[in-house]
A = this chain, B = another copy of it.
């Protein structure tokens, strides 16, 4: 992704922050909880979400240091969703590594996810005090939307009659809400007005749709082994996807 390549120094800095966070967590006890938490955060994802927080906040004049805890918080939140989603999807691997409930067990995956969710709140709270009410409210709305979207996604698997606009509404929650939140938090950190923050949020929702449709497409046609999932896996499992629904529409 061009966005990532053209910001490789910023991504390196984000990685360094996350390494420091892992070192801090690695010193906490019990290890039965913090080992799996560290394991999840070790997985080298694209770091797209913290990157968005930094890019947007910087464009509005906020310093890297001001944005850094929030950027870590959205990545930790993303990690939480992966751990619990993998349990629900019964996924044995992710990005070529064993999932937490496979490497440890179900209880560990539930608790590690819960800890990550709490930690994400702790991190996004580390903002100048006058920004905290807006940050908390934006983050809280996102958390609820994401749970709603994940529920809808699972419900759709059992249904044959999902309409395209229902699908897009689900995607706006399951994938879009967190990207929207990253844009909004970047805007709040940069001191943006409510109008600016709302417009940024819209951009996040659009990015979420593009992202999910690309993901659905890759499920059908990916040839790169880095994709790391079974080709057509979603289709076989009855997961609804844009192309399928558009074809049926």
A61 at the interface (CB under 8 A from B): no
A32 at the interface (CB under 8 A from B): yes
A185 CB, nearest partner CB in chain B, Å: 15
Q: Let me know if A119 and B144 touch, CB within 8 A.
A: yes
A91 CB, nearest partner CB in chain B, Å: 12
**Given pairs A115-B144, A122-B144, 14 additional interface contacts (CB within 8 A):** A30-B152, A32-B151, A33-B148, A33-B151, A84-B110, A84-B114, A87-B107, A87-B110, A110-B113, A111-B150, A114-B114, A114-B143, A118-B143, A118-B144
**A-B pairs with beta carbons under 8 Å apart, 26 shown:** A28-B148, A30-B152, A32-B151, A32-B155, A33-B147, A33-B151, A84-B114, A87-B106, A87-B107, A108-B151, A111-B151, A113-B114, A114-B117, A114-B143, A115-B143, A115-B147, A117-B117, A117-B118, A118-B143, A122-B140, A122-B144, A125-B136, A125-B137, A129-B132, A129-B133, A132-B132
